[in-house]
Amino acid sequence: MHRAAASRRGSPDHRSHRRPIAIPPAPVSPAQLLVGAGAALVAGFVNAIAGGGTLLTFPALVAAGLSPISANATSTVALLPGALSSMWGYRDELTGARRWAALFSMPSLAGGALGAVLLLHTPSDAFDRIVPWLVLGATALFLAQRPILRLVRGARPHPGDDLLSSRSPSFGLLAGQLLVGIYGGYFGAGIGILMLAALGLMGFSNIHRMNGLKNWGGFCMNLVAALSFALSGIVRWPVALGMALGSVAGGYVGARAALRVPQQVVRGAVAAVGVLSGVWLLLRL
């Protein structure tokens, strides 16, 4: 009887109970590839015109069958080429603000890494409960973008942008950028609006230079988050690669059409998708 009990304790069933075997993710379906590439195409288009592309790609991937954490990581990796092209397009605007760009990179990289680690240590069921509110909050921030930008552009700094760029950013701004980086690494929708508002409150009024610093900070935090997600194994690479191609194509078309498509129409569509996606994710729980 003791030998039988010992045999049961050493049986494969008992060992599997103590140490569950990881189940590999399901194969990527053609429908997921098409949905991902199509959502990234539209996201690249709206990012070039109005911003808010993450509010389109993330819910689309969840609806296609990816888990929220995998959808978030895959979307971050897939949209990184678009962030790189945006940052490169504004490289000339960073002339005279190299010190700001260099100091901006440190809290952006650190915050992006911390946010990615926080996401990777968030249980899937907990993230499922959090993410609807993140989507709705990002949508509200997207809707508030116009008033925030009016406030930013209406600022009249005393020293002037060139003199301000020659100085170092304040400790408060760098600390705020660290918090934005943590949020960017964790979820990320709306980080550009937060950075523009912070730069405007610091005294900048040249929206092109502000966009250059914003794109640089966003690229830094997205880069380190994408690397963390890639090493963690939660990125669905076939979907991410198809989305990267769609994002680049959409960004090019959006840039060409930026002067022809009414931004208000695009912004209204993105806001509607964000609200509907947040409500759908709540009901999905």
Domain assignment present for 17: no
The C-alpha atoms of residue 39 and residue 26 are separated, in whole angstroms, by 21
Domain assignment present for 112: yes
Query: Please, are residues 135 and 281 in contact by the beta-carbon 8 Å criterion?
Result: yes
pLDDT digit string (tens) for 189-212? 778 778 877 887 777 777 778 878
Query: Please, are residues 213 and 195 in contact by the beta-carbon 8 Å criterion?
Result: yes
Domain assignment present for 276: yes
Q: What is the mean pLDDT of the chain?
A: 80
Amino acid found at 142 = F
Give the chain's domain count. Answer: 1
Phi-psi bin for 242: left (phi > 0), alpha (psi -120 to 50), beta?
Answer: alpha
Domain assignment present for 115: yes
Domain assignment present for 108: yes
Domain of residue 67, residue span: 31-284
Domain assignment present for 3: no
The C-alpha atoms of residue 40 and residue 56 are separated, in whole angstroms, by 8
pLDDT digit string (tens) for 158-185? 556 666 666 778 888 899 899 999 998 9
Those residues of the chain that have pLDDT short of 70 are 1-26, 50-51, 145, 149, 152-166, 255-256, 258-259, 261, 263
Whose tokens are 């989305």? That residue is: 243
Give the largest Cα separation in the chain, rounded.
Answer: 88
Rg (CA), the chain: 22
Domain assignment present for 11: no
Q: Which of 205, 190, 68 has the alpha carbon at shortest distance from 125? A: 68
Domain assignment present for 16: no
Answering whether pTM is above 0.85, one says no
Q: 257 Cβ partners below 8 Å, 6+ apart? A: 45, 48, 49
Query: Which pair of structure tokens corresponds to residue 204?
Result: 């900048």
